Amino acid sequence: MRVSATVVVAGWIGTPDTMESLLLAAVHPTGGLHYVGHVATGFTRAEREDLLRQLTVIERPTHPFATPTPRWAASSHVRWVHPVLLGKVHFREFATRFRHASWRGLRPDATLTDADWPG
Protein backbone atom coordinates (compact mmCIF):
# COMPACT_ATOMS: atom_id res chain seq x y z
CA MET A 1 0.00 0.00 0.00
CA ARG A 2 1.29 3.43 -0.91
CA VAL A 3 0.83 6.41 1.38
CA SER A 4 1.20 10.10 0.49
CA ALA A 5 2.87 12.95 2.36
CA THR A 6 3.50 16.62 1.83
CA VAL A 7 7.21 17.37 2.14
CA VAL A 8 9.54 20.34 2.12
CA VAL A 9 12.27 20.41 -0.51
CA ALA A 10 15.49 21.00 1.43
CA GLY A 11 18.00 20.56 -1.36
CA TRP A 12 19.14 18.35 -4.18
CA ILE A 13 21.89 15.97 -5.13
CA GLY A 14 23.59 16.87 -8.37
CA THR A 15 25.37 19.86 -9.84
CA PRO A 16 24.21 23.36 -10.70
CA ASP A 17 23.22 21.85 -14.08
CA THR A 18 21.70 18.51 -12.99
CA MET A 19 19.22 17.28 -10.41
CA GLU A 20 19.57 13.59 -9.57
CA SER A 21 17.33 13.54 -6.51
CA LEU A 22 15.58 15.89 -4.10
CA LEU A 23 16.42 15.98 -0.40
CA LEU A 24 13.26 16.11 1.70
CA ALA A 25 12.24 17.45 5.09
CA ALA A 26 9.18 17.48 7.32
CA VAL A 27 8.22 19.35 10.46
CA HIS A 28 9.13 17.15 13.42
CA PRO A 29 6.67 16.95 16.36
CA THR A 30 9.33 18.58 18.58
CA GLY A 31 9.63 21.44 16.09
CA GLY A 32 11.89 22.38 13.24
CA LEU A 33 12.63 20.74 9.94
CA HIS A 34 14.19 17.28 10.00
CA TYR A 35 15.60 15.26 7.13
CA VAL A 36 13.20 12.49 6.03
CA GLY A 37 14.93 11.10 2.96
CA HIS A 38 15.31 11.70 -0.72
CA VAL A 39 13.40 10.96 -3.89
CA ALA A 40 14.90 10.17 -7.27
CA THR A 41 11.93 8.73 -9.19
CA GLY A 42 8.61 10.01 -10.47
CA PHE A 43 9.97 13.03 -12.38
CA THR A 44 9.50 13.70 -16.06
CA ARG A 45 12.38 15.31 -17.91
CA ALA A 46 10.43 18.60 -18.05
CA GLU A 47 9.76 18.46 -14.30
CA ARG A 48 13.45 17.92 -13.57
CA GLU A 49 14.38 20.92 -15.71
CA ASP A 50 11.70 23.12 -14.15
CA LEU A 51 12.65 22.07 -10.61
CA LEU A 52 16.33 22.72 -11.30
CA ARG A 53 15.52 26.25 -12.50
CA GLN A 54 13.54 26.92 -9.31
CA LEU A 55 16.13 25.32 -7.03
CA THR A 56 19.07 27.33 -8.32
CA VAL A 57 17.21 30.57 -7.53
CA ILE A 58 16.65 29.58 -3.87
CA GLU A 59 20.00 27.89 -3.24
CA ARG A 60 21.75 28.59 0.07
CA PRO A 61 25.13 27.57 1.53
CA THR A 62 23.83 25.65 4.57
CA HIS A 63 21.15 23.07 5.26
CA PRO A 64 17.75 24.15 6.66
CA PHE A 65 17.44 21.38 9.26
CA ALA A 66 17.03 21.79 13.01
CA THR A 67 19.38 18.83 13.55
CA PRO A 68 22.72 17.81 12.03
CA THR A 69 22.60 16.23 8.59
CA PRO A 70 23.75 12.70 7.81
CA ARG A 71 27.53 12.47 7.22
CA TRP A 72 27.11 11.80 3.50
CA ALA A 73 25.48 15.25 3.17
CA ALA A 74 28.91 16.88 3.33
CA SER A 75 29.44 15.77 -0.27
CA SER A 76 30.14 18.45 -2.84
CA HIS A 77 27.22 17.06 -4.83
CA VAL A 78 24.70 18.13 -2.18
CA ARG A 79 23.14 21.55 -2.70
CA TRP A 80 20.84 23.18 -0.14
CA VAL A 81 17.85 25.47 -0.67
CA HIS A 82 15.65 27.75 1.39
CA PRO A 83 12.64 25.66 2.54
CA VAL A 84 9.99 27.35 0.41
CA LEU A 85 9.05 24.64 -2.11
CA LEU A 86 6.68 21.91 -1.01
CA GLY A 87 5.76 18.76 -2.84
CA LYS A 88 3.95 15.48 -2.58
CA VAL A 89 5.52 12.04 -2.43
CA HIS A 90 4.12 8.54 -2.32
CA PHE A 91 5.98 6.03 -0.18
CA ARG A 92 5.65 2.49 1.12
CA GLU A 93 7.10 2.84 4.59
CA PHE A 94 8.29 5.48 7.03
CA ALA A 95 10.28 5.05 10.23
CA THR A 96 12.55 8.07 10.37
CA ARG A 97 13.12 8.07 6.59
CA PHE A 98 10.94 7.35 3.56
CA ARG A 99 11.35 3.99 1.88
CA HIS A 100 10.50 3.65 -1.79
CA ALA A 101 9.50 7.29 -2.24
CA SER A 102 8.21 8.54 -5.58
CA TRP A 103 7.73 12.21 -6.51
CA ARG A 104 4.18 13.28 -7.32
CA GLY A 105 4.71 16.97 -7.96
CA LEU A 106 4.96 20.38 -6.38
CA ARG A 107 2.27 21.59 -3.99
CA PRO A 108 2.05 25.37 -4.55
CA ASP A 109 -1.08 25.38 -2.37
CA ALA A 110 0.76 23.92 0.65
CA THR A 111 2.52 25.65 3.54
CA LEU A 112 5.01 24.38 6.14
CA THR A 113 2.12 23.41 8.42
CA ASP A 114 1.07 20.87 5.76
CA ALA A 115 4.46 19.13 5.95
CA ASP A 116 3.69 17.27 9.19
CA TRP A 117 5.88 14.42 10.38
CA PRO A 118 4.67 11.36 8.41
CA GLY A 119 5.20 8.85 11.25
> What is the residue range of 7's domain?
3-114
Res 103: pLDDT: 97
- 49 falls within a domain: yes
- 119 falls within a domain: no
CATH number at residue 22: 2.40.50.140
Number of structural domains (the chain) is 1
- 56 falls within a domain: yes
Res 10: pLDDT: 97
Res 2: pLDDT: 66
Query: The dihedral of CA 74, 43, 101, 98: what is its sign?
Result: positive
Q: What is the mean pLDDT of each run of 10 residues along the chain (119 residues)?
A: 89 92 95 94 95 97 89 86 97 93 96 89
Strand partners, 50: none
Res 1: pLDDT: 57
Res 32: pLDDT: 94
Res 73: pLDDT: 82
